[in-house]
Structure 1
Amino acid sequence: MKVRSLSAILFNLGLVPAVYAEQGQVSETDPAAPSAYDLCLLEAIKKGNETGNDQTVESIKRQCELENVTQTTAQDHKKKSENLAENRVETERETAFEPFVMTAHHLNYLLPITYSDKINQKAYEETDWAEGMEHAEAEFQISFKVPLNYSDMIFDGDGLFFGMTLKSFWQVYAADISRPFRETNYRPELFYVAPTGWEPFDSKTALGFGIEHESNGQRQDLSRSWNRVYAQFYFAKDNFALKFQPWWRIPESEKSDPNDASGDDNPDIEDYMGHFELSGAYKWNELEFSFLGRENFSTHKGYGELGLTFPIWGKVRGYAKYSAGYGSSLIDYDQNQQRVGLGIAITGLL
C-alpha cells in the first residue's frame, strides 16, 4: 500500500488535515499546520509501510498519544523548573477567569498558635480586655486578587488588579474575656504590573505601582488607618524572587479631638513602619523560605519577618513564622515585640 493512500485513510478517519494528507508537507507559518500528534501519525504510517509492519489504526493512535503526552509533560516540567515566579504568573493568567478559582495575592495561612513576648496592654487599657489578654493567640491571613483586564492593556503581559488582604488576631485562648478577635486589618488595593525587557543575570523583572488603604475598623480610641501610593520592582531568577516596594503616605488632617471620626488616627506611623518594604522568597527542594523587612533610617525603627513552608499533604503546607520589631499589626504599629507562630499555609509564594 502506498504512503499517499495511507495518508488519505488517515484523513478519512479524521486524524490529519486534508492538505497534509494529500501533500505530505508542513508549513510552520500556516495556521492550519498539523500538531505533533498529527505528524506522529504520518510518520508511524510511513515506517509501517516501509518495513511491512502491520499495525492497527488504534494501536498507532495510542502510541502517538502516549508519545505526545510524554513530550508535553517534559516540556512543561522544563518550563516550570526555569523560573518559578514566571511560572506562577503564567499559571495565574491561565486560571484567573475560571469561575471557581480564586487567585492568591499574598500568602494565605492559618497559625492556630502564635506567641508574643509583649502584649500591647496600653492600647487596650480603656477596654474590658486589658487584664485578660493572653500572650498566645491564633493568627490567620486571607489574601486574593482579581484581574481587571482580560487582554494586554499597554504592554505585553501587563495587568491591572484589585487586591484584598485580611489579617486577623484571635485571642482564642483568653477564656476570661470570651475569646475576642482583638484585631483585624483590612487592606484593599488597586495596582498595575508590567514586565520589563531588562533581564540581568538571565532573570525576569517587572515594574508596578498602586494605591492602598489599610485600616482596622475599630472604635475611635483603637482606630488605626493609613493610605499609601506605592511603586514596586520585581526580580526573579530560577527559584528566587525579590520585591522592593517604596511608598508615600497620603497626608491626612490633624485631629482636633481624639474622639473625632475624621482626621489622622496615627500621625507618627511612618516613624515605625518606615517608607519601604523589601521581601523575597527562595525555594530549595520542597522547602520555601521567605523574608520581609521594613526600616526607617531616621528613627532606626523597623520590622523583620522570616517564614518557612514545608510539605504536609497535597496543597496544604506547614508554615512557621518568626517576626521582630514594630508593626506586626496596625494596632501594634508602635509596639516592639517578637512573635513566633506555627500552622499551615494553603498557598505559596513561588
Structure 2
Amino acid sequence: MDQKRHRIRELGFAPGHFEPGPLNAITDVGGVRVGHVTCREGERTRTGATAILPHGGNLFQDKVPAGFAVLNGFGKFAGSTQIVELGEIETPIILTNTLAVGRGIDAIIRHTLMQPGNELIVSINAVVGETNDSRLNDIRAARPRVDEISLAIDGAVSGAVEEGAVGAGTGTVAFGLKGGIGTSSRLVPVRGETYRLGVLVQSNYGGHLIVAGHDYATLAEHDKDGSIVIVLATDAPLCSRNLERLAQRCFGGLARTGAALSNGSGDYALAFSTAETVRRTPERRKGASTVPSLSNDVVSPLFEAAIEATEEAILNSLAMAVETKGFNAATGKSSTVDAISLRVLAHI
C-alpha cells in the first residue's frame, strides 16, 4: 500500500479548463466550513459524519437559497422535499451512513435549538444525506452517535479539507476500491466578475472507473450499486431555480468517472449560494424584496465548472483514500478494500 497519498492534480491530471481556487476545496467559497468526525475502532467500526456549514452565523435565521437534484433515488435524503418546495437551507448539512440519518437529524436539531435567537422555533428542516458503508462497517452498531455527529458540526472550520477515508467517507467503497470524501473548486469568470464554486462528495458508488478518459482496467471486479452525495457551494448570486439547475450539472462530472448509475444507486446533488445579496434574512422574508441574481443567459460557465469540480472531487476521494480493513455487515465476515494504485494513476 502507498503510504503517502496525493491528490489527483498532483499526479498530473487536471480536469477541465477553469482554474481551481487556492485550496482547491469547497472551503474556497467564503464562509463555508467543513467538519469531520471519524469513528474507527476495533475490527468492526469504520464510519463517521461530515458537516458542511454554508456560513458561520445562525443558518436558521439567515437561510441560504438552494437547489436539489436526484439522478436515481435509491437512498435517503432527509430535508429534501422542503428544499425542493421552498428553495432554501436553514441548517448545517450532514453526510453520514444510512442507518445514522435519524441521529444526524437529532444532532442538527440540538445544534439549531441551542443557538441564540432560536428560542421560539418549533419546526426545523434538518438536511442529512447518506451512503451505505456496511461493506466495511458494522452499520447496525448505531455509530456515529448523536454526540459524535455534534462534534462534526461544532468542529467545522474553514481552510483545507481532509479527504479520503475520513468522516462520512471512513467506510465507503467506490468502483470496488476505497472511496471517501473528496473536494475541489473552480474560479469562474462571469461578465467581468470572478465567482468561486466548490464541490464536496461522499463517494460510495459503482461502475467502471475512468480517469482522464482512460479505463482503469486493473480491477478484477467492479461494483455496480452504491450511492454518492454531491454538495456544491458557490458565492455567485443565484436563485433557487438556477441552483437546482447547477446541482443537476454535477451529474455530468459523475458520469465522466464511469458511474454505472444502476438501479441500486442513490445519486444526489445539493447546491447552495453564500452570496449576501440572495441570503434569506428575516427582514427579506417578511415581504416582497428585490434580490439581484445572475440571469439564465450568463450561468453556463458555472454549469461547466460544476461538472469539472465534481469529477475532480470524486477522483480526489479515491486518490486520498487508503486500504481499509473492516467488517461486512451483510455477510458477518471481515472485509478488506484496497486503495487505488497511485503508481498506475501516475501513468494514465
Per the normalisation by structure 1, the TM-score is: 0.24
Q: Which has the higher strand share?
A: 1
* Larger-Rg structure: 1
